[in-house]
């Protein structure tokens, strides 16, 4: 948090992405929604489809009004984070452009987090469209060849992200 407090000139895209990832880290329902439901749907996101997804999974025991409210809140959060576009009716999936400094920050944050999946397929990077060859390209650009070489064979990021790369990138932008 100290880094975020000093990071006064953070651009709005980076700020939204960091808020999105922090919400994913703290809320398993939002993490599942953004990394699974949105990724699987690929088309327009209708409120009723989110309600059905909740009823078929995490919201099976909830009352209909609760499910509807959670569906609206999930869509609202994803819109605020830039994952969905459109203010009325069905929202459209949108993968925001991820600045290098935002990616470095996420990798730095994930270094001690045990994640579901692998470095090349996990809910945090997948939610913004960073998977496969595209992710490899971005990691190389950050000077993270070790992570690219390791590919999807390891569970967790801690062994892949050179702290110096992420820390230098973040420190440069936080002052």
pTM of the model: 0.79
Q: Give per-residue pLDDT as tens, 116-143.
A: 777 777 889 989 989 888 888 888 888 7
CA 95, CA 29: separation in Å to the nearest integer?
19
Please tell me the predicted confidence (pLDDT) of residue 169: 55
Segment of 64-73, 134-143, 158-167 carrying the highest mean pLDDT: 64-73
Q: Which two tokens mark 93? A: 């999936």
- Report the candidate in 162, 172, 164, 167 with the shortest Cα–Cα distance to residue 7: 172
């Amino acid at each position: 948090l100290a880094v975020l407090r000093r990071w006064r000139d953070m651009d709005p895209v980076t700020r939204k992405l960091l808020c999105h990832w922090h919400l994913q880290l703290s809320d398993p329902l939002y993490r599942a929604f953004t990394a699974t439901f949105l990724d699987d749907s690929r088309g327009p996101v209708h409120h009723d489809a989110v309600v059905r997804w909740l009823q078929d999974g995490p919201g099976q025991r909830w009352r209909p009004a609760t499910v509807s409210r959670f569906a609206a809140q999930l869509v609202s959060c994803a819109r605020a984070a830039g994952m969905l576009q459109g203010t009325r009716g069905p929202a459209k999936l949108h993968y925001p452009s991820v600045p290098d400094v935002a990616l470095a920050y996420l990798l730095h944050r994930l270094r001690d987090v045990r994640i579901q999946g692998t470095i090349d397929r996990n809910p945090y990077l997948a939610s913004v469209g960073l998977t496969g060859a595209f992710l490899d390209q971005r990691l190389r650009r950050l000077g993270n060849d070790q992570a690219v070489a390791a590919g999807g064979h390891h569970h967790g990021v801690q062994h892949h992200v050179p702290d110096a790369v992420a820390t230098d990138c973040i420190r440069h932008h936080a002052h």
